[in-house]
Amino acid sequence: MSDIDKEISEEIWIEILKLLPVKDLGKCRVVCKPWDSLIVSPSFINAHLKYYSQNAANTLILYKQFSNPPEKQEQYTLFRDSGEDKEANNLKVCHSFSCPFMATKTGYHFRVVGCVNGLVCLSDDLFGYTYTVLLWNPLIHKYIKLPVPLATYQVSVGAYICMLGFGYDSKRGDHKVVRLVYLRDKNHLDTTPPKVELYSVQDKRWRWVCADYLVDICVCDIKWSQCFLNGNIHWVAWERDAKTKVFEKNCLLLFDVEGERFKKMKLPEHLIKVNTLNLSVCEHDGKLSVIYSQLKGGFSGKEMERCEIWVKNEYNVGTSWCQVISLDLGSNIGLGWVQCLRKSGEVLGFTKKGTLVSYDPSTKQSKRLGFRGRWRSWSTCAFTESLVLLDKKHGVGTYKEAGGRMKKRFTYNIDRNSHAQTIDEHEVVLDDGDEEDPVDDNIYYQGGVLFYEALMKFGGGQVTGELSEFLSQAGLV
């Protein structure tokens, strides 16, 4: 370092370097040892995260797509969405990368649980009972592979449905994953309260959390969504009558990540009695948002008929819900599915053929953004650049990009006698010739049977007709 560099204090260097994006900081690390030590220090990582999370101009959109055969590649793109110039606000691509991990079964993809502080929580739970949960920082090529959870199929609890939530405990500076496990009774209904377990990055283990509050409160278990905002994880949930177990009303279930306790939040009156399966929760420009989707042909439909987006303007005021978007997708507006609301007021969604488009409700015009994916495999959420995990050495995995061909694959070893459970990882080179036939786009989560079970819940446990007949009518077999 020069004499001028030596005269500048570490505090000043932190103020200067924290303004740089992660990619440029990676280059700065090789300039000299003092810079490298500074950049990987917890104090700098926290300062950089604070700056990028508090500056709205730095907010990105993480978009995930799973391409159609024969490619079948899980691709992630980071867009910048300033929303300042509607005439020229095509989303600007900042980063694009292939998923470095491979789902348990070839031809499948990961679920994006959510993004917090630059960490993406991925779960391989879309089809069948699997236990791979990853916290991934794609910008620094590091990840944490969570251990097998406490509640597993057959070994510990038998058949169940589970949902995940991902949040940050600002008091402890700790990222946490919470897992709700609903056991199935003889009528295929959820047993409440669920078993709830929590993983702490600091503690490096799963532990049980009290769920006594969740009697007769169920999280929607098919294509569930979650959102972390204001210290709380949010899920769409429904309450049922204590005696009949029949659907009563919808609500939002909250988990206070710092206090590790559950609570409820009211939905707009308009959404309290609608089919819970048509609701999803997300964030819009730092505010809580709920999307209500009506599908053609019911839940098994492959495109939206109508869509409403509601935003909570004041988080702690129950009456502050406001409907900001109401679209009739049946009219010729070039949309088959709505994904989220952009800062500009435009709607980000997809055509019936899976092409990413941005629709302006004021002009009723759509523009294609040059991306295309497999139907209902997309995911979008807010993303903040960060160096989180850069300072951790033990328990953190790393990888190198290899043209998208080298991936981490995880396998399970479960000893049913000792209940010992482990996840092994190994690198594999993709071979297109070894891939299986594409998965039916209608089959989601653990197979068509769960559609049947979900409809039983909202019908008070009564669905006419045989299972095979239902699956055939829904196009699931």
* Tens digit of each residue's pLDDT (9 = 90 or more) over 228-258: 999 999 999 999 888 888 888 999 999 999 9
Host H or E run for residue 166? strand 160-169
SS3 39: helix
Determine the Cα–Cα distance for residues 371 and 390; give it in Å rounded to an integer.
31
Question: For residues 314 and 98, what is the distance between their CA atoms, to the nearest angstrom?
Answer: 37
Residue 117 to residue 167: CA distance in whole angstroms:
9
Which position has the token pair 């819009």? 284
Cα 328 from Cα 289, distance rounded (Å): 19
Name the β-bridge partners of 135: 121, 144
Query: Is 440's pLDDT higher than 90?
Result: no
The confidence score (pLDDT) of residue 70 equals 66
Per-residue pLDDT reduced to its tens digit, 275-298 = 888 899 999 888 999 999 887 766
With cut-offs at 50, 70 and 90, classify the pLDDT of residue 451. Answer: very low
Contact 132, 385 (CB under 8 A): no
pLDDT computed for residue 342 by the predictor: 87
| Contacts with 322 (C-beta within 8 Å, 6 or more apart), sequence order | 310, 311, 312, 313
Token pair of 350, please?
Answer: 């997809």
CA distances from 342 to 153, 325, 357, 392 (A): 40, 11, 12, 34
What CATH architecture is 1-58? Up-down Bundle (1.20)
Smallest CA-to-CA distance from 153 within 132, 131, 126 is with: 131
Give the global pTM.
Answer: 0.86
Residue type, 423: I
- CA end-to-end distance (rounded Å), the chain: 67
306 falls in which pLDDT band (50, 70, 90)?
confident
Residue 465 confidence (pLDDT) above 60: no
What pLDDT, on a 0 to 100 scale, did the predictor assign at position 5? Answer: 55
In the chain, domain spans: 1-58
pLDDT class for 454, splitting at 50, 70, 90?
low
* pLDDT tens by residue, 358-405: 888 888 888 888 888 877 788 889 999 999 999 887 789 888 765 556
Kindly calculate the radius of gyration of the chain based on its CA atoms and give it in whole angstroms: 23
Q: Which of 46-60, 79-93, 264-278, 434-448 has the highest mean pLDDT?
A: 264-278
Could you read off the pLDDT of 139-150 as tens digits, one per residue? 999 999 999 999
pLDDT in tens, 27-71: 888 888 888 989 999 999 999 999 998 887 777 889 888 877 666
Which pLDDT belongs to residue 31? 85
Q: What is the mean pLDDT of the chain?
A: 81
Report yes or no: 198 and 177 within 8 Å, Cβ to Cβ: yes
- Mean of the pLDDT values across residues 304-315? 91
Pairing, β 397-398 against β 379-383 = unpaired
